[in-house]
Amino acid sequence: MHGTFIWHELMTPDPAAAKAFYGPLLGWQPTDMQMEGFTYTTFAIPGFPMGVAGMMALSDEMTGQGIPPNWTGYVHVDDVDATAADYAANGGTICRPPEDIPGIGRFAVVADPQGATLCIMTPKMPEGGTGDWPAPGNPGTVGWNELMAGDGQKAWDFYAARFGWQKDMAVDMDALGIYQTFKLGDRAIGGMMTKRPEMPVPYWGFYFIVPAIDAAIDKVKHLGGQLLMGPHQVPGGSWIAACQDPQGAYFNLTAAGR
């Protein structure tokens, strides 16, 4: 469905070390695929061998351009070229023009008018099918997609127009402003707000589902990662924590309980 997050991808300077970190932390099984000029790794969870996330090496060229280790999200769109052009026509940027990945789909890298980056993609579905995806809430998958925007209201207007997202619950964060959650159809998929002043740039962050937050935090530390914030409980009862992997990529954890 247009506007759905369908994939999440890690760019890291050390793929082998990242496998050793995320595999035990999230129960992922890696599979390497040789692409033209590079290796791409998919991460699978039990019952879903096609994978729930991917990884590729951060090249020297990317590092030279100032791109840090990072997670990014892919949003399913009906027409990559049209959506990329729409981004550009409305103040956004096409960071990487639309191109085909043989057998996988067509994608582009885009940034909103405030600089937050996403990938957009029209996937090539299996013959006679629509893809096999884990049910929402499955451990090892992304359960929440979050934008820290330069201006939350302007960001909302931009994304709602591009992806058809609808407003869900609005949470008053006092001095921090309104945290606006959003949904597509009847499924809540994320939230956005104006970033805190000390955050250097607008960005998208992602929350990986784990069975229990405290045990997952212990694993992060044991595996060489860092706890940046939390754990703390959010409206609705879930627990969250902000973390950093050993190579410097930021990510979040979420669980129904401690």
pLDDT digits (tens, 9 = 90+) for 179-189: 999 999 999 99
List CB contacts of 191: < 8 A, sequence separation 6 or more. Answer: 144, 146, 147, 171, 179, 180, 181, 182
pLDDT of res. 132: 67
pLDDT of res. 131: 53
Task: Give the predicted TM-score (pTM) of the model.
Answer: 0.94
Mean pLDDT of the chain: 93
Domain match, 96 and 15 both:
yes
Q: Domain residues for 24?
A: 4-123
Domain match, 145 and 117 both:
no
The residue to which tokens 């996937």 are assigned: 123
Domain match, 113 and 161 both:
no
pLDDT of res. 236: 84
pLDDT at position 128 over 50: no
pLDDT-derived band at 129, boundaries 50, 70, 90? very low
Structure tokens at 209: 């589902």
pLDDT of res. 126: 56
pLDDT-derived band at 16, boundaries 50, 70, 90? very high
Domain match, 111 and 27 both:
yes
Which residues, in sequence order, are bridge partners of residue 70? 11
Counted domains in the chain: 2
In a domain, 128, yes or no: no
List CB contacts of 181: < 8 A, sequence separation 6 or more. Answer: 167, 168, 169, 170, 171, 188, 190, 191
In a domain, 132, yes or no: no
Q: Are strands 105-111 and 38-45 parallel, antiparallel or unpaired?
A: unpaired
Domain match, 53 and 154 both:
no
Domain match, 161 and 244 both:
yes
In a domain, 246, yes or no: yes
pLDDT-derived band at 80, boundaries 50, 70, 90? very high
Q: Are 69 and 13 in contact (CB under 8 A)?
A: yes
Mean pLDDT of 130-158: 88
Q: What is the pLDDT of residues 93-109, one digit of tens each?
A: 999 999 998 888 999 99
Domain match, 109 and 160 both:
no
pLDDT of res. 65: 82
Last residue of a domain, one of 92, 123, 154: 123
The CATH number of whichever domain residue 245 belongs to comes to 3.10.180.10
Rounded to 5 degrees, what angle do the CA atoms 208, 36, 18 make?
30
Last residue of a domain, one of 58, 91, 123: 123
In a domain, 189, yes or no: yes
The residue to which tokens 């997952």 are assigned: 216
Domain match, 87 and 149 both:
no
Domain match, 22 and 55 both:
yes
> Which ranges of 119-171 would DSSP assign to H, the alpha helix?
152-163
Domain match, 110 and 165 both:
no
In a domain, 238, yes or no: yes
pLDDT at position 136 over 90: no
Domain match, 145 and 115 both:
no
Last residue of a domain, one of 123, 152, 167: 123
